[in-house]
Amino acid sequence: MRSSLAAALALAGVLLAGCTSGESAVDVNNGGEFRYVASTPAGEVIPEGERESAPEFSGTLLDGGDFDSTELAGDVAVLNFWGSWCPPCRVETPQFQEVYDEVRDDGVQFLGLNVKETDQQFADAFVATKGITFPSLYDPRGEVALAFRDYPANAIPSTIVLDRENRVAAVYTGEVRQDDLRTVLAQLTGEA
């Protein structure tokens, strides 16, 4: 009995340690369940000739305003799928704010997509306490993530970067390092 209890506690410790590292993500399947999976730290940057158009989407922002993906037209766009319940998001989101402050005047838009949140109050509190100024869409059913089902937006956090032609240019599953994001944004803002 003691060995079974010790093994169970050891397994729980390993699982909890994985949940709080920057190298993990939460996989959200269509049934709404969550599980942590390994991330792809550097992500995938898609060559310009191989990029596909991003799906159109719309919804309601956390501040109550309406949003349509056509508002991203002509700009590079960073779409970050997050939840207040997601440990890597607590690290990544303030770092996104830093990068956003650096590039928002360079034709780059950031849009958070709050998914699978049981109560909007949690999302509102998260944005307020982290000092996030870029907009976030409230998507409790994960409908926008489903629209991006050809890309790994079903893992939280996930980040999809669109080029100026509204094509998917980079995909990150898990926490994105600031330097990786800066590099891809510099590349995309430099494209003709």
Q: Are 78 and 158 in contact (CB under 8 A)?
A: no
Q: Would you state the pLDDT for residue 154? A: 66
Q: Would you state the pLDDT for residue 174? A: 85
Q: What is the CATH number of the domain that holds 147?
A: 3.40.30.10
Domain span at 149 = 2-190
How, if at all, do strands 76-82 and 108-115 pair? Answer: parallel
Q: Could you give the CA distance from residue 5 to residue 21 in angstroms, rounded to a whole number? A: 25
Which strand ranges, in their side-by-side order, compose the sheet holding 34-38?
34-38, 24-28, 155-156
pLDDT tens-digit profile of 50-89? 999 999 999 999 999 999 999 999 999 999 999 999 999 9
Which of 19-23, 70-74, 163-167 has the lowest average pLDDT?
Answer: 19-23
- pTM score of the predicted model: 0.79
State CA 87 to chain mean position distance. 12
H/E/C letters for each residue in 52-84?
Answer: CECCCCEEEECCCCEEEHHHHCCCEEEEEEECC
Q: Using pLDDT thresholds of 50, 70 and 90, give the confidence band for residue 39.
A: very low
CB atoms within 10 A of CB 156: 27
Q: Would you state the pLDDT for residue 15? A: 28
Number of domains in the chain: 1
Q: Could you give the CA distance from residue 131 to residue 142 in angstroms, rounded to a whole number? A: 24
Q: With H, G, I as helix, E, B as strand and everything else as coil, classify residue 168.
A: strand
